[in-house]
């Protein structure tokens, strides 16, 4: 697997509006879009920072983000890396003996992605790989 670049960094927050105000007022970030993922039970605000997206994620129901907040509080939740092909990346990791979180890629915002590790394996950070759809 060859990592091409960081696609996005996601931060878990308890209150999306409060977090947006802080990131927009203090850092001067301009909101690109908001969306809700019913599958992942989150509401998201996205900002473009150079070539990387920054996402603020608020849970809409019990799920991974709400459990993270209950256990660890607000903070860095996931880093997403672009790869040329998610399926190949997953297959390569399986061949090396790694147990992946996802059995097959997920789909969101026109992208294919997969969570590849338990956070304990990579310094407490959930990691995902994402197809580089810009090619």
List domains and CATH numbers for the chain: 5-131 (3.10.180.10)
Q: What is the pLDDT of residue 119?
A: 76
Residue 1: pLDDT above 70?
Answer: yes
Cα separation values, 96 from 1, 100, 117, Å: 11, 11, 13
Contact status, residue 81 vs residue 127, Cβ threshold 8 Å: yes
Q: What is the pLDDT of residue 133?
A: 64
Distance CA 12, CA 77 (A): 6
Mean pLDDT, rounded, for 62-87: 95
Q: How high does pLDDT run on average in the chain?
A: 92
| Tokens matching residue 104 | 């097959």
Distance CA 56, CA 134 (A): 23
Contact status, residue 1 vs residue 88, Cβ threshold 8 Å: yes
What pTM value is reported for the model?
Answer: 0.89
């Amino acid at each position: 697997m060859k990592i091409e670049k960081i696609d996005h960094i996601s931060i878990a927050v308890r209150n999306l509006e409060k977090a947006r105000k802080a990131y927009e007022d203090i850092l001067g970030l301009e909101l690109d879009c908001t969306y809700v993922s019913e599958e992942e039970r989150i509401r998201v605000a996205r900002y473009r920072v150079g070539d990387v997206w920054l996402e603020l994620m608020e849970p809409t129901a019990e799920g991974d983000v709400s459990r993270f907040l209950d256990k660890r509080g607000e903070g860095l939740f996931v880093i997403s890396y672009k790869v040329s092909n998610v399926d190949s990346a997953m297959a390569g990791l399986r061949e090396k003996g790694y147990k992946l979180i996802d059995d097959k890629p997920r789909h969101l915002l026109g992208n294919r992605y997969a969570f590849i590790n338990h956070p304990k394996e990579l310094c407490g950070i959930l990691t995902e790989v994402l197809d580089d759809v810009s090619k």
